[in-house]
Structures are given as C-alpha cells and as structure tokens.
Chains A and B, each alone.
Chain A
C-alpha cells in the first residue's frame, strides 16, 4: 500500500496567518491527490482534488500544489472556521490511502 506522510502533525497559527501543510507519498502518484478538512464530530469534507483543483464551494484562500511524491496545502489569511484537522489522500493506486492528519490549532 502507498504510505502517505503529513507534516507537521500539529500546527499552531493565528487568524490572518498563511500556513502550509506537506504530504509525501511513498512512491509517485502523479497528481492524483485530494485534501480534506475535518471538524470534530463531522465527516471529512473535500477541499482539493487532482492536487490543485478546488472543490465545489471551497473558498479561494485554500490552494494545493505538487506532483509525484510531494504535495502542499496552503491556506492564506486563516479564518476562525479553518481551525480543523486536514488529511491528504492518494487515488493513483488501490487501496486508496490517507495521511495521518495535521491538526491546525489556534495559537
């Protein structure tokens, strides 16, 4: 199975900050990568697909980049609603696999 490794595991930031989360795949997945946001007690919500395409209704302060084995999720001008846990997921290979998550906390 493809291993997905996110860093950092926890990130402390303030409203208005710009933050970046990294996801690394154990082998090349081209751009077949998605990012999800999850809040406590809720299901994950799709943010980004195909590494850089914004999901429907997702604010433009979210952006994704990367290809091959290294990917980033960037959030510009953090809003209070953005404090959550973020996951990457590869869909180049079966089974689909997820990163372990990055918890974005308020500093």
Chain B
C-alpha cells in the first residue's frame, strides 16, 4: 500500500522559495508506472495541478504553464522522495499543497496529507 508523507515549512516570506518534500513508502520514486505530482488547493483557484516528475528509462518533468519559470519538481532516489520548489512566491501562492501519485492511469491516488503554506511577511 503506497503512502505519501509530506514535510516542509508552513510559512514563507514573499519573494522567497517554497520548498516541500514528499516521502514515498510502498513504491519507488523510480517506478516506471508511477508519476509523482504536486497539486495545490485554494478557495480562489480550487484544485490546481502544478507539476510532476516520472521515470521512463530517463527522468521527465511536466509543469503547468502558469507555473513555468518558477517551479521545479525533483526526484531524490537516495531517499525515495520527491520535492517541490516554487520560486518568487507571492501571497497568491498561499494554499494547501498536496503530493500524489498519478501512475500510468491518469487519476490521483493516493495523496499526501497536505501542507498549508502561507506566504506572508
């Protein structure tokens, strides 16, 4: 049974970098039928897909167009986890951030527990 455990700070200052980590148990970040995603949720934007990393003989990344230039999703094979970095944050990036596995199916399951990240000075 796959489980995802998120970690990272809940408060980030404007213009700084938001960094979150998602530790995987029950599967491998290098699995060739998994895709490791970040999704956020806010009252104004609802559920918004941000980006993903996955391994298919080599590593790939996809990012939401709205995030491009600011986002990086990286695997860490040594710790079996993956991370989210979002640069130059503003208060509009305040949201609950979730990590989740899409696999090769397209729907998301399971999900991490969520991390409320507030962008404020």
> What is A's interface to B at a CB cutoff of 8 Å?
32, 34, 36, 42-46, 49, 55, 87, 89, 91-92, 94-101
Contact = CB atoms under 8 A, between A and B. Distances in A.
B109 A55 contact: yes
A96 B102 contact: yes
B41 to A, nearest CB: 8
Given A32-B106, A43-B113, A49-B107, A98 B47 contact: yes
Contact of B107 (A42, A43, A91, A97): A91
Looking at chain B's contact residues, the main secondary structure is loop
A99 to B, nearest CB: 8
A36 to B, nearest CB: 8
B62 A89 contact: no
B106 A96 contact: yes
A64 B62 CA distance: 29
Interface residues on B, range: 20 to 34
A46 B47 contact: no
Contacts of A91: 102, 105-107
A95 B48 CA distance: 9
A42 B114 CA distance: 7
Closest A-B pairs by Cβ, 10 of them: A91-B106, A43-B111, A34-B107, A98-B47, A46-B109, A49-B107, A95-B49, A96-B49, A43-B114, A100-B46
A42 to B, nearest CB: 8
A25 to B, nearest CB: 14
A89 B108 contact: yes
Contacts of A97: 49
